[in-house]
Every structure is written in C-alpha cells, then in structure tokens.
Amino acid sequence: MPGPFLELGLGNGRTYDHLREAAPDRDIFVFDRKVAAHPDCQPPPNYMIIGELSETLGGIASRLAGSAVLAHCDIGSGHPVADQALAREIGPKISGLMAEYGVVLSDQRFEVMDWQKCDLPEGVRAGRYYVYQKIPGIPPR
Ligand SMILES: C[S@@+](CC[C@H](N)C(=O)[O-])C[C@H]1O[C@@H](n2cnc3c(N)ncnc32)[C@H](O)[C@@H]1O
C-alpha cells in the first residue's frame, strides 16, 4: 500500500531508526513533544512534528488524513492511568490519519471504533504490544 508511516514517540530514535532502515523509500512523519534523539536518529525537520500529540495529530489532518499505512505508537510514560487517558484521547485522531487497512502497532491498548484488534506475532507476550488494523468503509465521525 502506498502512503506514509507515522512514528509517535521519537524518544531516543531507536524505533525510528529501525523504521527508516526497513522502509527507506517511505515518508515517515515523527511526533514528539521534544527532540532528544541523537542527531543521527532525528528525522529531517519537515518530517518532525513537535508538540503535544493531542494537538499535533489534529493539526496535521489537513495534510495526512486517510493516508498513513502504518503507525507505530511508543508513547508510554510508565504511568498506566495517564497513558490510557492519552490513548483514549488520541485514538480517534490517529484513526483519522490512517488509510483503510492501515496497521497500528502500539505499546498502548486502544479502543477505537473503526480498528480491529489483530493477533500478535508468535513469541510476543499478550499485553506487551498491540496490533490493530483500520476497518474499511466506516466514515469518520
Ligand atoms: C518511550 S519514549 C519513545 C521511545 C522511542 N520509540 C525509541 O525507540 O527511542 C516515549 C516518547 O513519547 C513522547 N510522548 C509521550 N507522551 C507524549 C505526548 N502527549 N505528546 C508528545 N509526545 C509524547 C515522549 O516525549 C517520549 O519521547
């Protein structure tokens, strides 16, 4: 499927580095409230969206709505209540950026109406990671 990838949570840039190595021809839009990764693991400035996810995901909707084929969310703070509140808030905003059949990989559990939970790859412990796919044919609310 053509379309950009989204990386939510640059952090040290470790998973961003994996994504760009695995998919060198993709546009990868990266979101974080700050840029703290080693310079070698930072995206080009026009692909780095700095700010609170609750604001930036909505702000970029006019450019990316319905287009992303993969979103990787690594946004955990270690505070489960706050992390789940964030997931509830941003789930629909991420969904608005996803293409039909697009896949969301996440360290957080999401409950988004137009996402279907998928099986984890063998060897991944339940609750450690989550995989969702955007169900086609459900118009945005
Ligand atoms: C666990 S780290 C990401 C690690 C990264 N994937 C790596 O491989 O190095 C989580 C990141 O999410 C960012 N983050 C968490 N909540 C956020 C929010 N509400 N808005 C923007 N960034 C947020 C943090 O600033 C942090 O850099």
Q: Where are the domains of the chain?
A: 5-134
**Which of these, 76, 71, 77, lies nearest to 57 by C-alpha position?**
71
Q: What is the pLDDT of residues 87-103, one digit of tens each?
A: 999 999 999 999 999 99
Distance 55 CA to ligand 1 centre (A): 14
Q: Is beta strand 68-73 parallel, antiparallel or unpaired with respect to 98-106?
A: parallel
CB of 87 closer than 6 angstroms to any ligand 1 atom: no
Whether 121 has a pLDDT exceeding 80, the answer reads yes
CB of 86 closer than 6 angstroms to any ligand 1 atom: yes
| Nearest protein CA to atom 16 of ligand 1, as residue | 75
Q: What is the pLDDT of residues 1-55, one digit of tens each?
A: 999 999 999 999 999 999 999 999 999 999 999 999 999 999 999 999 999 999 9
Which is the closest atom of ligand 1 to the Cα of 14? Answer: 8
The pair of structure tokens assigned to 99 is 């293409």
The pair of structure tokens assigned to 73 is 């969310």
What CATH homologous superfamily does 5-134 map to? Vaccinia Virus protein VP39 (3.40.50.150)
Report percent pLDDT > 90 for the chain.
96
Q: Which band of pLDDT confidence, cut at 50, 70 and 90, is reported for residue 141?
A: low
Q: State the burial class of residue 128 (Cβ atoms within 10 Å of its Cβ: 0-12, 13-18, 19+).
A: exposed
